[in-house]
Structure 1
Amino acid sequence: MTTSSGKPVDTHADDVSSKPLLRIDYCPITATPWDVPVPSARAIGVTMKSVVIAAFLIGMTGSAVHAQDAPIEFRMAASDANLAGCRGLDAQLSRVHSVTLQGDKALLKLAGGISETLKQTSPGLYTSVFTLSGVRLDVVADASKSPRTLVVTEKNRGCRWDATTK
């Protein structure tokens, strides 16, 4: 059976309405490559550029977040100019300590298990004052430059311990 335009049509023999059940001239499974729309090379280039830029920005954001959470390790060393009275703190301060940046604060963890919160005083510069073995110590962590530094001072006797990252 054919339609008025001459195209073949399959109809069901028992169907009284004689409406076509299946169009034989069109089958989506056997579509040719010319039937599928292909984006232009310009559209592909714009899309790839957008994907690369997005991946780069996501990577930058991820690394910035990671840098905030990663502890910065320091090994303190006493200054050569320290007086004999300063040497009492050498054993506690001449170990590996870490500073973890947390936005406008930083967490200093001393090797003996003592933690101290440092406050940001300018971009990348964190300070605090705390007492260790009855001695008042001023701490300055500078993460704004490379290498990063950690300085601990005791102002009454002029004691100083310094550290830089590797």
Structure 2
Amino acid sequence: MLRTLFAALALLAAAPLAHAQHAEIAAGETHAHVAPHGGVVRSASPYHLELVAQPTELAFYLLGAKMSAVPNKGMSGSVLVQLTTNATVTVPLALAGDDHLTAKLPAGAKVRTAIVTLNTADGKALTVRFDKLDEAHGHKAVGAAFACPMHPEVAATAPGKCPKCGMALVKKS
């Protein structure tokens, strides 16, 4: 009985550590961020901004309480992109779906750094920098392996729950 109690307590104590391993603490950040869409998350107080890099575009999700996507209605902005060739280009953000914005990349572009300037619907101006995208997160550009059956635009590289409806993400075939 006592041995079972100690084993259960050990499992409970280890559970938060297992969850934290899937989160990322970026340079200059004070805590780890779990990325609901399988991207890279940075603080943008009082929000967070998640970047999901694809070969032809960058998708940005403004995240609010409990890391849920904030509706994109009324948002605008641009992204200053530094390519791996050290060339820079400014790309406008376009509304996509109802919860994110996208920036179309030049053909064949490989992104090293992205500096996002975002104007929110509530009048806040946010500037967020994503560095070393060609190194640490190049594998994420390949695409997500899991998606929500009800919201196919919600994708991730690992199992999880849809931030829109709470359903479990399923493995793509």
Greater Rg over alpha carbons, structure: 1
Give your verdict on TM over 0.5: no
Q: TM-score range by the shorter chain?
A: under 0.3
TM-score (structure 2 length as normaliser): 0.27
Q: Which has the higher helix share?
A: 1
| Greater relative contact order, per chain length (Cα 8 Å cut-off, separation 6+) | 2
TM-score (structure 1 length as normaliser): 0.28
